Amino acid sequence: MIRRLGPVVALIASTLAAQPQRIVSPEVHGDRRVTLRLRAPNAKEVLASGEFVPKPVPMTRGAEGIWSLTTEPLSPDIYGYTFRVDDLVINDPSNASIKAGINATQSLFTVPGDTAALYDEQDVPHGVLHRHHYRSKAIGDTRAFVVYTPPGYSADGKAKYPVLYLLHGSGDLPTSWSDTGKAHFILDNLIAQGKAKPMIVVMPFGHAVRSTERTPANRGRNLELFAKDLLGDVMPSVEAAYRVHTDRKNRAIAGLSMGGGQSLSAGFSHPEKFAWVAGFSSSVPDNLPIKATDQFRWIAIGRDDFLIENNRKLDAALKAAGVKYSYQETEGAHSWRVWRRYLADLVPLLFR
Amino acid sequence: MIRRLGPVVALIASTLAAQPQRIVSPEVHGDRRVTLRLRAPNAKEVLASGEFVPKPVPMTRGAEGIWSLTTEPLSPDIYGYTFRVDDLVINDPSNASIKAGINATQSLFTVPGDTAALYDEQDVPHGVLHRHHYRSKAIGDTRAFVVYTPPGYSADGKAKYPVLYLLHGSGDLPTSWSDTGKAHFILDNLIAQGKAKPMIVVMPFGHAVRSTERTPANRGRNLELFAKDLLGDVMPSVEAAYRVHTDRKNRAIAGLSMGGGQSLSAGFSHPEKFAWVAGFSSSVPDNLPIKATDQFRWIAIGRDDFLIENNRKLDAALKAAGVKYSYQETEGAHSWRVWRRYLADLVPLLFR
B290-307 pLDDT, tens digit each: 988 899 999 999 999 999
Backbone φ, ψ for residue B12 (5° rounding): -60, -45
The pLDDT-based confidence of A8 (bands split at 50, 70, 90) is very low
Residue A60 near residue A68 (C-beta atoms within 8 A): yes
Minimal CA–CA distance to A234: which of A269, A205, A264, A276? A205
Yes or no, beta carbons of A131 and B126 under 8 Å apart: no
What is the model's pLDDT at position A292?
86
Residues of A in contact with B131 (CB under 8 A): 128-131
Q: Per the CATH hierarchy, to which homologous superfamily does domain A128-349 belong? A: Alpha/Beta hydrolase fold, catalytic domain (3.40.50.1820)
* Overall size of chain A counted in residues: 352
Backbone φ, ψ for residue A111 (5° rounding): -100, 110
Q: Which amino acid is at B30?
A: G
Which of A44, A91, A102, A105 to mutate: most B Cβ within 10 Å?
Answer: A105
B21-111 topology per CATH: Immunoglobulin-like (2.60.40)
What is the model's pLDDT at position B22?
82
What is the model's pLDDT at position A3?
33
Yes or no, beta carbons of A93 and B98 under 8 Å apart: no
Q: For strands B46-50 and B57-58, give the pairing.
A: antiparallel
Averaged pLDDT for residues A270-292: 95
Strand residue runs (E) in chain A: 27-28, 34-39, 46-50, 57-58, 60-61, 66-70, 77-85, 88-90, 98-99, 106-111, 128-135, 142-149, 163-167, 200-203, 251-256, 276-280, 296-302, 326-330
Averaged pLDDT for residues A3-9: 34
The pLDDT-based confidence of A178 (bands split at 50, 70, 90) is very high
Yes or no, beta carbons of A131 and B128 under 8 Å apart: yes
Residue B253 near residue B352 (C-beta atoms within 8 A): no
Residue A252 near residue A226 (C-beta atoms within 8 A): no
pLDDT tens column, A25-60: 999 999 999 999 999 988 999 999 999 999 999 999
Distance CA B175, CA A96 (A): 14
Task: Please enumerate in sequence order all residues whose Cβ is within 8 A of that of B253, keeping only pairs 6 or more positions apart, or say none.
Answer: B164, B165, B167, B263, B266, B267, B274, B276, B277, B278
Q: Does residue A20 have a cis bond before it (omega within 30 degrees)?
A: no
Q: Is the pLDDT of residue A309 over 80?
A: yes
Find, in chain B, the residue whose alpha carbon is nearest to that of A93.
Answer: B90
Backbone φ, ψ for residue A149 (5° rounding): -110, 140
What is the model's pLDDT at position A323?
87
Q: Rounded to a whole number, what is the distance in Å from the CA of A8 to chain B's nearest CA?
A: 12
- Listed by start position, the domains of chain B span 21-111, 128-349
Yes or no, beta carbons of B93 and A88 under 8 Å apart: yes
b (16+ CB within 10 A) / e for A313-328:
ebbeebeeeebebebe
The pLDDT-based confidence of A158 (bands split at 50, 70, 90) is confident
Query: Considering chain A, what percentage of its residues have pLDDT values greater than 70?
Result: 94
Q: Rounded to a whole number, what is the distance in Å from the CA of B292 to chain A's nearest CA?
A: 34
Residues of A in contact with B65 (CB under 8 A): 87
Q: Is the pLDDT of residue B49 over 70?
A: yes
Q: Rounded to a whole number, what is the distance in Å from the CA of A90 to chain B's nearest CA?
A: 6
Minimal CA–CA distance to A201: which of A231, A170, A244, A233? A244
**Of B3 and B102, which is predicted with more confidence?**
B102
pLDDT tens column, B247-283: 999 999 999 999 999 999 999 999 999 999 999 999 9
Interface of B to A at Cβ within 8 Å reads 20, 38-44, 65, 85-91, 93, 96, 98, 100-105, 121-123, 126, 128-135, 142, 154-156, 184, 188
Q: Rounded to a whole number, what is the distance in Å from the CA of B294 to chain A's nearest CA?
A: 36
For Cα atoms A229, A201, B135, give the angle at the middle one, nearest 5 degrees.
140
Task: Please enumerate in sequence order all residues whose Cβ is within 8 A of that of A242, keeping only pairs 6 or more positions apart, or say none.
Answer: A147, A149, A155, A161, A163, A200
Yes or no, beta carbons of A103 and B90 under 8 Å apart: no
Q: Which of B90, B154, B184 sits opposite A90 (nearest CB)?
A: B90
Q: Rounded to a whole number, what is the distance in Å from the CA of B296 to chain A's nearest CA?
A: 32
A322 dihedral zone (left: phi>0; alpha: psi -120 to 50; beta): left
Count of CA atoms in the C-beta half-sphere (13 A) of B227: 18
b (16+ CB within 10 A) / e for A130-144:
bbbbbebebbeeebb
Count of CA atoms in the C-beta half-sphere (13 A) of A187: 25
Yes or no, beta carbons of B96 and A105 under 8 Å apart: yes
Find, in chain A, the residue whose alpha carbon is nearest to that of B120.
Answer: A142
Residues of B in contact with A155 (CB under 8 A): 154-156
Residues of B in contact with A39 (CB under 8 A): 87-88
Q: For strands B296-302 and B276-280, give the pairing.
A: parallel
Q: Is the pLDDT of residue B4 over 60?
A: no
What is the model's pLDDT at position B19?
52
For Cα atoms B114, B115, B117, give the angle at the middle one, nearest 5 degrees.
120
pLDDT tens column, A193-244: 999 999 999 999 999 987 677 777 777 889 999 999 999 999 999 999 999 9
**Of A21 and B312, which is predicted with more confidence?**
B312
Q: Which of B38, B105, B133 sits opposite A98 (nearest CB)?
A: B105
Which of B131, B135, B141, B237 to mutate: most A Cβ within 10 Å?
Answer: B131
**DSSP at A126:** -
Task: Tell me the torsion sign for CA atoms A320, A321, A324, A328.
Answer: negative
For Cα atoms B148, B151, B153, give the angle at the middle one, nearest 5 degrees.
75
Averaged pLDDT for residues B215-236: 91
The pLDDT-based confidence of A17 (bands split at 50, 70, 90) is very low
For Cα atoms B307, B309, B314, give the angle at the middle one, nearest 5 degrees.
100
**DSSP annotation string for A165-180:** EEE--TT--TTHHHHT
pLDDT tens column, B154-208: 887 889 999 999 999 999 999 999 999 999 999 999 999 999 999 999 999 999 9
The pLDDT-based confidence of B17 (bands split at 50, 70, 90) is very low
Averaged pLDDT for residues A94-112: 96
Residues of B in contact with A103 (CB under 8 A): 96
Minimal CA–CA distance to A105: which of B43, B105, B265? B105
Minimal CA–CA distance to B25: which of B67, B54, B53? B67
Query: Considering chain B, what percentage of its residues have pLDDT values greater than 90?
Result: 85
Task: Please enumerate in sequence order all residues whose Cβ is within 8 A of that of A148, keeping only pairs 6 or more positions apart, or say none.
Answer: A127, A128, A129, A130, A178, A183, A184, A187, A200, A201, A202, A203
pLDDT tens column, B52-63: 999 999 999 999
pTM for this predicted structure: 0.93
Which helix (H) or strand (E) element contains residue A346? helix A336-346
Which of A90, A121, A238 to mutate: most B Cβ within 10 Å?
Answer: A90
Yes or no, beta carbons of B104 and A121 under 8 Å apart: no
Residue A84 near residue B82 (C-beta atoms within 8 A): no
pLDDT tens column, A243-270: 999 999 999 999 999 999 999 999 999 9
Q: Which of A87, A102, A134 sits opposite B20 (nearest CB)?
A: A87
Minimal CA–CA distance to A51: which of A302, A319, A307, A325? A302
Residues of B in contact with A102 (CB under 8 A): 96
Count of CA atoms in the C-beta half-sphere (13 A) of A186: 20
Residue B255 near residue B277 (C-beta atoms within 8 A): no
Q: Which of B41, B85, B188 sits opposite A87 (nearest CB)?
A: B41
**DSSP at B232:** I
Q: How many CB pairs under 8 A join A and B?
A: 106
Q: Is the pLDDT of residue A141 over 50?
A: yes
Find, in chain B, the residue whose alpha carbon is nearest to that of A103.
Answer: B96
Residues of A in contact with B40 (CB under 8 A): 85-86, 88
Give A102: exposed, middle or buried? Use CB within 10 Å, 0-12, 13-18, 19+.
buried
Q: Rounded to a whole number, what is the distance in Å from the CA of A212 to chain B's nearest CA?
A: 12
Which helix (H) or strand (E) element contains residue A3? helix A2-5
Q: Is the pLDDT of residue A318 over 60?
A: yes
Which helix (H) or strand (E) element contains residue B81? strand B77-85
Residues of A in contact with B156 (CB under 8 A): 155-156
Which of B14, B87, B108 to mutate: most A Cβ within 10 Å?
Answer: B87
Q: CA torsion B16→B18→B20→B24, rounded to 10°?
A: -90
Task: Please enumerate in sequence order all residues whose Cβ is within 8 A of that of A211, keeping only pairs 6 or more positions apart, or say none.
Answer: A102, A103, A170
